[in-house]
Amino acid sequence: MAGDPFKEFTVKRKKGEMIYVEGDLGSEMYVVQSGAVRIYRTLGGVKQELAIMEKGDFFGEIAVLEGLPRTASAEALDTSEIIEINSATFDTMIRANIEIAVRMLRKLSNRLQEANRKIELLSRATASGKPAAAAARVTAVDMDQPAEAPPPAPTAAPAAGIQAAPKPIGEVEVPEGAFALLVLEGGSRHFPITAETALIGRYDPVTGTRPEVDLTQVDINRSVSRRHARIVLKDGVFLLFEEVGALNGTFVNGQRLAVGTPTPVVSGDKLGLGMVSLIFKAAAKMTGRKPAAAGRS
């Protein structure tokens, strides 16, 4: 029990087995330990996929927080191990995994921003004299649903990185328009940094956040947190920050970073995020380059 405080709450689900159905009452939320879970709604007899949850992702939290009926259905995509958390063990879960707590707060923050935006649209529609029925079509906020549409195909660039023939780091060129480049150790994939602030991590189906540097496809061990670190260009200096809630550490040339403490990085530095190793390379000249839109805050 000391090694795994949630072992007794872990259950196995077979491929295709339903975890819950839209409209069900429930008092548990779930954390995926292995395998994958599909979250979907059924519209006109057709399944509309909302998200795929993998190791470390959580879902169904609205039942624990508010006691409301399920807003979507969940089924195991393959044989999966899932932790069932009820209100009695919720506090223990939050204390044991700070990343889940931070992601839950971010999800709530996204929902509040989305609600504010919809209220503003509703106010504008009402002020413009549109019928109440038309104004009321503004969708309600749904906490169990991802904040954005499902991610694009894994081959999409630049989020998934650019495939490249391996070559020595000294021969790798930063593409035109980019401030810097992160090169997967071994050189098989490049991640251009095209904004003055770039989030590094993995796509998060819980919050709908896709980082500017998306390591989802190369982090086969799922050791990189969804929001793991951030590179900021300030006064001509590149600074690396570890994000709040990141697990498994962030390293520069073997030295572990403290959360939120900026660490300068220069060309040739080796960055470690969990089990993923990247080489940082800055553009030779940045003078006169117009910065791209800033990344997520």
pLDDT of residue 106: 74
Rounded (5°) CA angle 90-229-183: 135
Report residue 149: phi and psi, to 5°.
Answer: -65, 160
For tokens 């570890």, name the residue. 242
**Alpha-carbon gap, residue 245 to 106, rounded angstroms:** 11
pLDDT higher than threshold 60 for residue 45 = yes
Confidence of residue 144 (pLDDT cuts 50, 70, 90): low
Which own/partner contact pairs does 292-295 have at CB distance under 8 Å and 24+ positions apart? 292/177, 292/194, 292/195, 292/196, 293/195, 294/195, 294/196, 294/197, 295/195, 295/196, 295/197, 295/198, 295/199, 295/211, 295/212, 295/230
End-to-end CA distance of the chain: 38
pLDDT of residue 36: 93
DSSP label at residue 293 = P
Mean pLDDT of all residues belonging to the chain: 80
Better-scored residue on pLDDT, 244 or 150:
244
Provide the residue ranges of all domains of the chain, joining segments of one domain with +.
7-99, 162-282
pLDDT of residue 226: 87
**Alpha-carbon gap, residue 83 to 5, rounded angstroms:** 11
**Alpha-carbon gap, residue 130 to 117, rounded angstroms:** 18
Kindly report the CATH class assigned to 162-282: mainly beta
pLDDT higher than threshold 70 for residue 8 = yes
pLDDT, tens digit, 9 for 90 and up, residues 241-260: 998 778 899 999 999 998 87
Contact 200, 230 (CB under 8 A): yes
Neighbouring-strand partners of residue 27: none
For domain 7-99, is the CATH number 1.10.3720.10?
no
**Alpha-carbon gap, residue 251 to 263, rounded angstroms:** 10
Q: Which two tokens stand for residue 9?
A: 């709450």
The model carries a pTM of: 0.58
Percent composition of the chain: helix, strand, coil (DSSP 3-state, to 5) = 20, 35, 50
Q: Give the helix/strand (H/E) hosting 135.
A: helix 132-135
Confidence of residue 269 (pLDDT cuts 50, 70, 90): very high
Task: Provide the residue type at 282 as one letter.
Answer: A
Confidence of residue 193 (pLDDT cuts 50, 70, 90): very high
Contact 211, 203 (CB under 8 A): yes
Confidence of residue 129 (pLDDT cuts 50, 70, 90): low
Better-scored residue on pLDDT, 9 or 233:
233
pLDDT higher than threshold 60 for residue 134 = no
pLDDT, tens digit, 9 for 90 and up, residues 89-120: 777 777 777 777 777 777 777 666 766 776 77
Strand arrangement, sheet containing 58-59: 10-13, 80-86, 28-34, 58-59
